[in-house]
């Protein structure tokens, strides 16, 4: 792993908090490498990770719950500084012999703590200052373990922060990682830089350097194939590999006929003409469309597309021949989702379109982005000189426009959707919403409605426009696009897309709605 090249590394032990990923984001933003692992990581594994500091996350349990997550106490005895957050602090208190008790009231939301110390953790905070913090806990510290002193207190939690400087142990009852704790980042940085002695060396420039040399060493003169989708993750994966091994990377781009307008051309221009990779485009639109003929069930569509993709991709890979590795754009959130908290045994999520290929073809996987968050991947793209339009691209589902045409996918209906979708894209970009929104697109509904154009009565298709704001696609809310933008989108679609006489805007959030309509 390239991360081994970073001398300063923070280990986050996950006790199940909804904010654990945010802790990791904040640490990375401070340019310190970190990883999240389950709370029950063994002392041997912790030693091997060789952390400069340990952060114990919050979690939904009470320390007295049956089956409450407990880390092995030996990880606290390695001389590594520790910061316990919320449940992490209560765990620390409990195992070190202090007392944790149920608070009179559950404290949830904003609270004020008075900072009583300005050394390491609260360096730069005037003594006696009131700090706004985010609390979310039932239990609280009643008696600190021997050797600890209080650093801050609130009305409900007299010990809102504590430290045993001799052993390098710190605890905060509140959540410094969330935006509702305005100075939380300063507290985390104080822990990283003043307590753990980390240096801010995790930058995407250093990641690229380290990863490129590591990829060269691992791959040698072997051949790697990489499937391109036009999305950010596969683009950056391929460019990174191209940087490392040049023509020993073969890129395969399957045009399944379900792409947006102009997308196939953009991909081929970038990889064939700009990067001059060993680029193989398979024009399989007719093949996919004939398999999709008459199919209306969303899951059936997904299955057919996934299966055909593997067939086409595999045939091309065999034709190229002599391939040892398959490169994939797996990101860190996918990795954490599958291993964190529930423990390493939880099933790994299957990825996008490459299904069982590695097994079928006996290929080894290369996942150079598996340590990165999405915004870090975009920065890597910038670092590698990938054009901004590619780096900033919104996510697009593997099954493409097929899941945005409700009902049967036909060439005519694809053409209508493509045209309407291109208008949505253009207007959202011009209005400055493209990079703010998570996704913005058009959906073709399987209904016709009555309208009037000129003196004629019409009976034509309906386009739904969907634009959502989201951080991770797990939850989403509809984008508050200005009326003028919606109006321009609607007018342009109705005036120029033949066969459409009505446009509606989807104002459902997720949950209960999903982002895609199918
Ligand atoms: P939903 O519709 O479940 O989508 O709210 C969440 C995110 O995942 C994308 N998505 C897919 N991506 N293959 C993909 O690669 C798929 O089958 C698929 N279905 C949904 C969707 O665009 C959104 O970003």
Q: What is the pLDDT of residues 352-379, one digit of tens each?
A: 445 567 787 889 999 999 999 999 999 9
Q: Which CATH class is domain 3-195?
A: alpha beta
Residue nearest to atom 21 of ligand 1 (CA): 397
Q: What is the pLDDT of residues 399-438, one digit of tens each?
A: 999 999 999 999 999 999 999 999 999 999 999 999 999 9
Gap from CA of 291 to ligand 1 centroid (Å): 21
Residue nearest to atom 10 of ligand 1 (CA): 397
Of the residues 398, 441, 516, 518, which should be mutated to test ligand 1's pocket, given the most ligand atoms within 8 Å of the CB? 516
**Beta-carbon neighbour count of residue 276 at 10 Å?**
11
Residue nearest to atom 20 of ligand 1 (CA): 397
**Beta-carbon neighbour count of residue 278 at 10 Å?**
17
Residues in the ligand 1 pocket, defined by CB under 6 Å: 302, 352, 395, 397-399, 439, 473, 510, 514-516
* pLDDT at residue 474, as a whole number: 83
248 CB contacts (<8 Å, ≥6 apart)?
A: 219, 221, 222, 223, 224
Residue nearest to atom 3 of ligand 1 (CA): 514
Active site residues: 86, 175, 177
Residue nearest to atom 9 of ligand 1 (CA): 397
C-alpha neighbours within 13 Å on the C-beta side of residue 230: 23
Calculate mean pLDDT across residues 141-163: 95
Gap from CA of 398 to ligand 1 centroid (Å): 8
Look at residue 514 and tell me whether its pLDDT is greater than 80. yes
* pLDDT at residue 295, as a whole number: 98
The ligand 1 atom at the shortest distance from the C-alpha of residue 513 is 5
Look at residue 489 and tell me whether its pLDDT is greater than 70. yes
Share of the chain above pLDDT 90, in %: 85
* pLDDT at residue 335, as a whole number: 82
For residues 141 and 88, the answer to whether their CB atoms sit within 8 Å is: no
Q: What is the pLDDT of residues 65-96, one digit of tens each?
A: 999 999 999 999 999 999 999 999 999 999 99
* pLDDT at residue 308, as a whole number: 95
Residue nearest to atom 19 of ligand 1 (CA): 397
Calculate mean pLDDT across residues 281-305: 97
Look at residue 348 and tell me whether its pLDDT is greater than 60. no
Q: What is the pLDDT of residues 1-49, one digit of tens each?
A: 445 557 899 999 999 998 998 999 999 999 999 999 999 999 999 999 9
Residue 322's Cβ-count burial label (10 Å; 0-12, 13-18, 19+) is: exposed
Cα 299-470-502 angle, rounded to 5 deg: 65
In the chain, where the domains are located: 3-195, 204-391, 410-505
Gap from CA of 383 to ligand 1 centroid (Å): 27
Rounded Cα–Cα distance for residues 42 and 48 (Å): 10
Q: What is the pLDDT of residues 318-340, one digit of tens each?
A: 999 999 999 999 998 888 776 65
The ligand 1 atom at the shortest distance from the C-alpha of residue 438 is 24
Of the candidates 516, 442, 517, 428, the residue with the CA atom closest to the CA atom of residue 480: 428
Residue nearest to atom 6 of ligand 1 (CA): 473
From the candidate CATH numbers 3.90.198.10, 3.90.850.10, 3.30.300.10, 3.90.960.10, the one assigned to the domain spanning 410-505: 3.30.300.10
Q: What is the pLDDT of residues 230-262, one digit of tens each?
A: 999 999 999 999 999 999 999 999 999 999 999
Rounded Cα–Cα distance for residues 375 and 373 (Å): 6
Rounded Cα–Cα distance for residues 63 and 70 (Å): 8
Gap from CA of 352 to ligand 1 centroid (Å): 9
* pLDDT at residue 157, as a whole number: 87
The ligand 1 atom at the shortest distance from the C-alpha of residue 517 is 2
Rounded Cα–Cα distance for residues 392 and 388 (Å): 6
* pLDDT at residue 349, as a whole number: 34
Gap from CA of 397 to ligand 1 centroid (Å): 5
Look at residue 341 and tell me whether its pLDDT is greater than 80. no
Q: What pLDDT band is residue 346 in, cutting at 50, 70 and 90? A: very low
Gap from CA of 87 to ligand 1 centroid (Å): 33
Q: Which helix (H) or strand (E) holds 487?
A: helix 483-496
Give the CATH number of domain 204-391: 3.40.50.620
Gap from CA of 47 to ligand 1 centroid (Å): 38
**Beta-carbon neighbour count of residue 499 at 10 Å?**
16
Share of the chain above pLDDT 70, in %: 95
Residue 290's Cβ-count burial label (10 Å; 0-12, 13-18, 19+) is: exposed
* Domains 3-195 and 410-505 are alike in CATH topology: no
């Amino acid at each position: 792993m390239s991360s081994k090249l970073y001398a300063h590394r923070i280990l986050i032990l996950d006790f199940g908090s909804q904010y654990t990923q945010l802790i990791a984001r904040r640490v990375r933003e401070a340019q310190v490498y970190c990883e999240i692992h389950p709370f029950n990581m063994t002392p041997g594994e912790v030693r091997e990770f060789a952390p400069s500091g340990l952060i114990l996350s919050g979690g939904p349990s009470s320390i007295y719950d049956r089956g409450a997550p407990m880390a092995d106490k030996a990880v606290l005895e390695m001389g590594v500084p520790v910061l316990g957050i919320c449940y992490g602090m209560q765990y620390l208190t409990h195992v070190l012999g202090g007392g944790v008790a149920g608070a009179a009231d559950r404290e949830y939301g904003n609270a004020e703590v008075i900072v009583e110390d300005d050394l390491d953790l609260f360096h730069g905070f005037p003594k006696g200052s009131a700090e706004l913090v985010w609390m979310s806990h039932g239990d609280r510290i009643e008696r600190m373990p021997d050797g600890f002193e209080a650093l801050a207190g609130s009305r409900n939690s007299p010990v809102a922060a504590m430290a045993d400087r001799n052993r390098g142990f710190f605890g905060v009852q509140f959540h410094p990682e969330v935006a509702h704790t305005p100075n939380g980042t300063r507290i985390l940085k104080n822990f990283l830089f003043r307590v753990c002695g980390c240096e801010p060396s995790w930058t995407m420039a250093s990641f690229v350097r380290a990863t490129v040399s590591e990829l060269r060493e691992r791959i040698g003169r072997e051949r790697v194939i990489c499937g391109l989708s036009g999305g950010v993750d596969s683009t950056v994966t391929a460019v990174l590999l191209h940087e490392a091994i040049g023509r020993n990377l073969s890129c395969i781009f399957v045009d399944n006929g379900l792409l947006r307008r102009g997308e196939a051309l953009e991909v081929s221009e970038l990889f064939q003409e700009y990067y001059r990779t060993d680029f193989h485009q398979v024009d399989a639109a007719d093949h996919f469309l004939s398999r999709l003929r008459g199919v209306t069930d969303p899951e059936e569509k997904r299955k057919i597309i996934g299966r055909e993709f593997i067939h086409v991709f595999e045939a091309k890979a065999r034709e190229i021949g002599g391939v040892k590795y398959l490169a994939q754009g797996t990101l860190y959130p996918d990795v954490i989702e599958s291993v964190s908290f529930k423990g390493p045994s939880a099933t790994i999520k299957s990825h996008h379109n490459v299904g069982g290929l590695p097994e079928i073809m006996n290929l080894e996987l290369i996942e150079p982005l598996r340590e990165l968050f999405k915004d870090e991947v975009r920065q890597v793209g910038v670092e590698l000189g990938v054009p901004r339009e590619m780096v900033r691209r919104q996510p697009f589902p593997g099954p493409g426009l097929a899941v945005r045409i409700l009902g049967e996918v036909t060439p005519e209906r694809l053409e209508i959707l493509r045209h309407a979708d291109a208008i949505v894209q253009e207007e959202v970009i011009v209005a400055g919403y493209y990079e703010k929104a998570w996704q913005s697109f058009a959906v073709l509904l399987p209904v016709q409605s009555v309208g009037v154009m000129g003196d004629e009565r019409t009976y034509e298709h309906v386009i739904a426009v969907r634009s959502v704001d989201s951080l991770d696609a797990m939850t989403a809310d509809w984008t508050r696009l200005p009326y003028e933008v919606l109006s321009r989108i609607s007018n342009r679609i109705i005036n120029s897309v033949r066969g459409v006489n009505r446009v509606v805007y989807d104002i459902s959030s997720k949950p209960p709605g999903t982002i895609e309509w199918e």
